[in-house]
Structure 1
Amino acid sequence: MIAWKDSYDIGVEKIDCQHRQLLAKLNEFFEACSNQQGRDKIMETLKFLKEYTLEHFGDEEELMGEIDFPELTEHRKTHADFVKTVLELEEMINAKGVSVLSTIKLNRTLTDWLVNHINKCDKLIGEYMASRGKAV
């Protein structure tokens, strides 16, 4: 389980709320895996991720466009790479079934996304807005 830290906030309530929603879903999946129910929860989690990424990445990219965020193109690419990873994992599960490997891969993917992307890359959006005197 990963606890939300205030340091994960970027200072944009809509985006921060979506990030907290992702963490809650990640923790649900961790808990299911801890209770030997990861196989049952993985498809639900992947379905959530596909829906989440459409809405969240769209909102985030729209915000970055509105504030002329200088790293929008690179950020958009990281979003596309994450979606590709999720779709590849779903494809692997559909072809081979759920396995310990697929549950570990999803755990690692989500944990890495939270720790590295949200806490580092997304944080830059709020910092950029604050440095430009934009309301967050």
Structure 2
Amino acid sequence: MFRAEWKTDYETGHQRIDFEHRIFLGLIIQIEAELMAEAPIETIGRRLTELYKYADFHFYSEESIMIELSFPEYELHRKLHIALLEDLRRFMLSMSIDLIRQADLIRFLVDWFAHHTTREDIKIANLVRSRG
């Protein structure tokens, strides 16, 4: 099975963003553990909803930080957040919760998290570092 785990590549250098990213990935790891333990379908569905709601909160929080930093790509990044939430929503709706393929679900969630964190959020880290 694919294993979700924290990597230093996910660190942005901004304490609050990194803290929230760890919680975010922690939810993915929890979903993975519940799948492996064959938790009830209702539990998995509820956890996915929790992940969606946390993602919405985290993106809003991150956008507030970008505004405070006068992040030059704020609007583009905000649109990426909207698209990511839509991807997650569509993924959740497209699967029959009782037919979840464990590896596919975890791979989607980790790729979804990791891709954005390492390609887009790193830009925030670069701005933070450049300002000392």
Normalising by structure 1, we get a TM-score of 0.79
Alpha-carbon contact 2:13-2:125 (below 8 Å) kept:
yes
Q: Aligned in 2, Cα 1:78/1:19: closer, same or farther, shift over 3 Å?
A: same
Give the deviation of 1:57 after TM superposition. Answer: 0.6
**Distance change (3 Å), C-alpha of 1:65 and 1:80:** same
Deviations 1:34-72 (A, max 9, x none): 233374443122221232122211110111112121221
Distance in structure 1 (CA, Å) of the matches to 2:40 and 2:80: 26
Contact 2:28 2:51 in 1 (8 A): no
* C-alpha separation in 1, matches of 2:105 and 2:20: 19
In structure 2, relative to structure 1, the CA distance for the partners of 1:18 and 1:117 (3 Å cut) is same
Instruction: Tell me which amino acid in the other structure corresponds to 1:24.
Output: G
Number of residue pairs the alignment of both structures matches = 130
Compare 55-64 and 44-53 and name the one that shifted more.
44-53
CA drift at 1:83? 0.9
Per-residue deviation, residues 69-106 of structure 1 (Å, max 9, x unmatched): 1221221121111111222233335xx553225x5553
Q: State the 1:117 CA deviation.
A: 1.0
Cα distance in 2, alignment partners of residues 10 and 2 from structure 1: 19
Maintained 8 Å contact 1:29/1:41: no
1:49-64 to structure 2, matched below 5 A, reads 49-64=51-66
Bigger shift: 43-52 or 105-114? 105-114
Conserved in 2, the CA contact under 8 Å of 1:30 and 1:107?
yes
RMSD over aligned Cα atoms: 2.2
5+ residue gaps, structure 2, are none
What SS class does the counterpart of residue 98 from structure 1 fall into? helix
> Distance between the aligned counterparts of 1:38 and 1:123, measured in 2?
37
Q: Report the residue type matching 1:119 in the other structure.
A: T
Task: Please name the residue that 2:82 is paired with.
Answer: 80
Identity across matched positions, percent: 28
Matched with 2:99 is: 99
Unpaired runs of 5+ in structure 1?
none
